[in-house]
Structure 1
Amino acid sequence: MTNNQNSTYHTPPYLTIGDTVAITCPAKKLTRDILDAVTLLESWGLNVVLGETVKASWHQFAGTDELRASDMQQFLDDPNIKAIFAARGGYGTIRIIDRIDFSVFKKHPKWIIGFSDITVLHSHIQAVYKTESIHGQMPLTIPDGSSVSLETLRKALFNEALDYNYTSAVKNRSGEANAVLIGGNLTLLVMMAGSVSEQDYSEKILFLEDVGEYLYSLDRMMWNLKRSGKLTYLKGLIVGSFSEMKDNDIPFGQTAEQIIMEHVKEFDFPVCFNFPAGHINDNRALIFGRKVNILVEEQSVSLTYPESQY
């Protein structure tokens, strides 16, 4: 276990060829096989172990809460497992987070990978254990994932350079910031409020994404972040994909980007939109808990991990 320079977050050991990784389902059950994901991970030189939850079913979940928690527990405690992939999101991780004993993980951290509902795990291990994790493609989404997004996931796991440059289709708020990156799915971050899994947002760069929400609900959640002071001391805001957004019969009157900008207009930190991450095929990997540098101009954006050691 190592610490990044000038950072209080722990970096789990990177993967090397021959390592064994696990796939488990902490939330919703799988609706199709994940053979493509297994094949991809094996092509990276990894051995893959599947948890019982991969084939389990209990209502909408991948087995009972007890099974999903024990599956995760087994892989957290097994020293031969070097990384844990959540097979999919959906809903359910919050039902098991308090059943999991992270004492072995605290001493011997390993990479946890996923997005969407897996934001619960990201937020929890960063809030309580100050340990990095990877927001990226999951086994269920791998068949539809862009080749670029899958390559960024491999790079994140094997400690290769992970830098991004892109052009936003929406006008950004210019600026530069260097701070620890946190975040994930907005709905789940709001759900963490008031719990042990809630992070300190001060002096951080926040990444947000969501899917299938009503525009008024997005506005309501942004009010939650603002009124609770979470936006006040941010160093920067990265807005990923807000896909499949819904509206009421009486239109809300603003886009997702306009809603978000409305809530942060009084602050002066840089804000970039259309970052290629979230519920999209081009869901590129981000390492949460690590310092990033963002340079945001009106249309162009660059994100680098300046303290990473390649």
Structure 2
Amino acid sequence: MKYPKPLQQGSTIAITAFSSGIEKKHDARFRVVRENLESRGFNVVVGKCLYGQRKHVSAPAQKRADELMSFLMDDEIDAIYPPWGGQLAIELLPLIDFAKLQTVRPKWILGFSDVSTIAAVFTSKLSWATGHCSNLMDLTSEANDPLTANTLMHLSTSIGGSFSQTESKLYASSWPDIVTEPTSGIMPDTPTNWKWLVKPEFGSSIEGRLIGGCWDTLSHLFETEYLDLKGLSQRYSEGIVLYLENAEMSPTELARTILNMKFRGVFSCISGLLLGRSAAAVPKSDQSLSYYEVLEKYLMDIGIPVMIDLDIGHVPPNLTLINGAIVKVELNETGILHQYLK
């Protein structure tokens, strides 16, 4: 696995919205976030593809891909950190020159949601470690819950080093209004409870090489040239631990997605599955399938341990997860996640 340089004072972070951009009403929040990065000693470079959400994106696909490539090819850049995700990062994949990227040092790609569409692919195709973590626009000085507040500290971990995180005490049932309160952090209000859906045959942990992201987008990439879990499992004897989080899929769509993964042999390529909290709308009718009913109906028989309701995804806060790192997730009374950058 090829790890980017640890982020530290003097590192340069490039900001480009390779999926959805920000709007003018987000200016105050963006200034707060940028000032927070600069106060920590980071250099910040802002690309031209930042503003705009026309047809869900900041700019046409080729323009977004060109700007992303320019930052990736620039070895003065240490990390690419979009403001947040979106919907259509997937259309950049055929426009990225992966052969060229073999000639440069790896850069961090950071964030969650549609950011993971690019990040997970880079880990699969280039063996670059990438980060699934709080989005850039979450990082204000008032974001003081431990998981969000420690995001950049974890990304400073030295190559060969390790760090650990414990499940949050509370998660936030809603996001702050960043337009009217541009400095605000999340307000955790609901008890967190990591749970076993399927316990391991022996012990109380899941171990392997970590990769994953947004279930809604990665489900379209499994076992393609962009996200080859079978190839990863053959390269890494530790086994592959896949993590996923549901942003918008209804229970019936999620059921179809899980069945599709079964048909394509995805679960035979991994040694464990971690699922974040679901952010999808809850069906109003008691005659409808629920999210948890889908998990119990379609994941109990996949032959690997499954842990659910972790601090991953669109129901914050977010763990900092390093795609490509070796992970050990333990769950007894409390969940603890250890990562080793080896």
Per the normalisation by structure 1, the TM-score is 0.87
- Other-structure match for 2:252: 216
- Other-structure match for 2:151: 153
How far is the alpha carbon of 1:135 from its aligned partner? 0.3
**Counterparts of 1:158-197 in structure 2 under 5 Å?**
158-159=156-157, 161-166=162-167, 168=193, 170-175=195-200, 176-197=205-226
Which sits farther off after the overlay, 20-29 or 30-39? 30-39
How far is the alpha carbon of 1:104 from its aligned partner? 4.7
How far is the alpha carbon of 1:194 from its aligned partner? 4.9
Task: Work out whether 1:200 is the aligned partner of 2:229.
Answer: yes
How far is the alpha carbon of 1:11 from its aligned partner? 0.9
CA distance in 2, matches of 1:129, 1:281: 29
CA distance in 1, matches of 2:195, 2:281: 16
CA distance in 2, matches of 1:212, 1:39: 32
CA distance in 1, matches of 2:247, 2:98: 29
Question: Any idea what SS the aligned residue of 1:59 has?
Answer: coil
**Counterparts of 1:57-206 in structure 2 under 5 Å?**
58-106=54-102, 107-143=104-140, 147-159=145-157, 161-166=162-167, 168=193, 170-175=195-200, 176-200=205-229, 202=233, 203-206=239-242
How far is the alpha carbon of 1:252 from its aligned partner? 2.5
CA distance in 1, matches of 2:17, 2:316: 20
Question: Any idea what SS the aligned residue of 1:73 has?
Answer: helix
CA distance in 2, matches of 1:251, 1:259: 13
Percent identity reads: 23
Listed one character per residue, the Cα deviations across residues 17-70 of structure 1 (whole Å, up to 9, x for unaligned) are 112110100011213221222122113210111110113554331011122112
- Other-structure match for 2:331: 296
How far is the alpha carbon of 1:227 from its aligned partner? 1.7
Question: Any idea what SS the aligned residue of 1:12 has?
Answer: coil
Question: Are residues 251 and 155 of structure 1, via their aligned partners in 2, closer, same or farther at CA, if it must alter by over 3 Å?
Answer: farther
How far is the alpha carbon of 1:301 from its aligned partner? 2.3
Question: Any idea what SS the aligned residue of 1:86 has?
Answer: coil
CA distance in 1, matches of 2:326, 2:220: 24
CA distance in 2, matches of 1:194, 1:237: 16
- Other-structure match for 2:16: 24
How far is the alpha carbon of 1:250 from its aligned partner? 6.9
How many residue pairs get aligned? The number is 298
How far is the alpha carbon of 1:139 from its aligned partner? 2.2
Question: Any idea what SS the aligned residue of 1:53 has?
Answer: coil
Q: Is the 8 A contact 1:29 1:57 kept in 2?
A: yes
Q: Is the 8 A contact 1:126 1:199 kept in 2?
A: no
Unaligned runs of 5+ in 2: 168-191, 234-238
Per the normalisation by structure 2, the TM-score is 0.79
How far is the alpha carbon of 1:103 from its aligned partner? 4.0
CA distance in 2, matches of 1:226, 1:145: 39
CA distance in 2, matches of 1:250, 1:155: 44
- Other-structure match for 2:189: none
Task: Work out whether 1:260 is the aligned partner of 2:258.
Answer: no
